[in-house]
Copies of this chain bind each other. A is one copy, B any other.
Amino acid sequence: MAEPWATWGIDLHLEPTGPGLRRGLTGALREAVRSGRLTPGTRLPSSRALAADLGIARNTVADAYADLVAEGWLTARQGSGTRVATVAPARQPGTVPPAGTAVHAPARARGRPAYDLRPGSPDLASFPRAEWLRAARRALATAPYQALDYGDPRGRPELRAALAGYLSRARGVRADPERIVVCAGFAHALRLLGTVLRARGARTVAVESYGLDVHRDLLADAGLATTPLPFDALGTDPAGLLGADAVLLTPAHQFPMGVPLHRDRRAAVLDRARRTGALVLEDDYDGEFRYDRQPVGALQGLDPDRVAYLGTASKSLAPGLRLAWAVLPPDLAGEVAAAKGGVDTCGALDQLTLAEFLTSGAYDRHVRAARLRYRRRRDALVAAVAARAPQARVTGIAAGLHVLLRLPPGSEQSVVQAANWRGLALHGLSRYRNPAARLEPPDALVVGYGTPPDHAWSGALDALCATLPG
């Protein structure tokens, strides 16, 4: 995912740098007009203000505005600024921006795509609001008043104790509360770890050939270079780990390929890491969701002093909670907590509520119900694609909230575009390829079947099948 930028009520995902920036901005603005999210007559911010908003050069914005004036989407008049043209060329309501720009959640309410099958978020309409409030009430009723004070940077002791029990039981993590640091989401945990590793002298982190650019960017922000590891039928090959100070992996469910790391490779990763002294960063983003067999236990359980385990409530509950957890070798736990700046950065009330949610069994009940719901969606997706788009092939189905949908060669870009014109937001696999990796990704879609609310699911599936080559 690229950086989400919020500007005058419209949130844009733009590649923050590079030659694609002007093109991306122009395309995003054009689509905002085309789709009706920016209504005719709307006055745009000055190029100076928008450039400041986006943290980019003013000329880039001015150029994008000029392009769109030339194309007839915008008008520019002395004294009245730049406005959306009242007769815009060929507007098509219900369309969504092309791949590379993506409407962010708050904007969806106004001019959102009809359907969204991009990966990354769970079904937010199924967030257990009533159960969460009950847990909040119980947590607030019993918490000592000191729990509302400045807190331990590792996070509330109640939550760390609850997580230690849960992670040990459900994911085979060797956790004790002293090893756990609560963070404001996975990105926060990765940012803290990157800072600490860099301060220890680390220079390079090996990453997967497929993954999220924001994760590589976070490591780069911390001063760490990333280098891709080869990927084949067994998953990521750690042979190239030599020379890296750490390796970031999704062993239970590779994102976005959807496969678990082969058991031989699991052993090889730990073996290499031990020999080279590298730290393994285990991103267990959706470890709760496995359908056809027992979950793959966390790599951390095999070598807790060599592996930093990273989990999150973003897939099992909601990203908006901004709660994640790192289970760390003891020497790292103190340093990562200190990197938070000496005090906790996560709200005590949400932490106490999640602790109560975990210990009362509400979390297990919620995950079981969600697992059943997502499994039904997955089954429906596999059956519908088999029946209606036999040229496509679904893989990576055993776990998680997304699948890989293999397409006939050369068709990925046109399928994504056709879907967008139908009002279906989709991501192709190519956007998740590490540009530094030496591999040619197959044509495929990364279909996030967890994203739509229940009422939109069958419509989204229909739109998908109608878009696929028959």
Name A's B-contacting residues (CB within 8 A).
1, 3-6, 8, 11, 16, 49, 52-55, 104-106, 108-109, 120-121, 124-125, 127, 129, 132-133, 136-137, 140-141, 144-154, 157, 178, 184-185, 187-188, 191, 214, 217-218, 221, 314, 318-323, 330-335, 337-338, 341-350, 453
Contact = CB atoms under 8 A, between A and B. Distances in A.
A185 B49 contact: no
Most chain B beta-carbon neighbours within 10 Å: one of A144, A153, A157, A322: A322
B187 A54 contact: no
Given A52-B333, A124-B146, 4 more contacts: A1-B342, A4-B342, A6-B337, A149-B320
Contacts of A344: 322
Given A187-B343, A345-B184, A4 B152 contact: yes
Given A188-B341, A345-B185, A6 B52 contact: no
20 contacts: A4-B343, A5-B338, A55-B338, A105-B150, A106-B151, A124-B145, A127-B145, A129-B141, A132-B349, A133-B137, A136-B136, A149-B319, A185-B343, A191-B341, A221-B341, A318-B348, A320-B347, A321-B348, A322-B345, A350-B350
Nearest to A52: B331
A347 B314 CA distance: 11
* Chain copies in complex: 2
Contacts of A141: 129
A100 B94 CA distance: 63
Contacts of A314: 150
A257 to B, nearest CB: 22
A346 B6 CA distance: 16
Contact of A129 (B140, B341, B350): B140
Given A3-B342, A337-B6, A343-B4, A148 B319 contact: yes
A126 to B, nearest CB: 8
A334 to B, nearest CB: 4
Nearest to A137: B133
A301 B34 CA distance: 39
A147 B320 contact: yes
A12 to B, nearest CB: 11
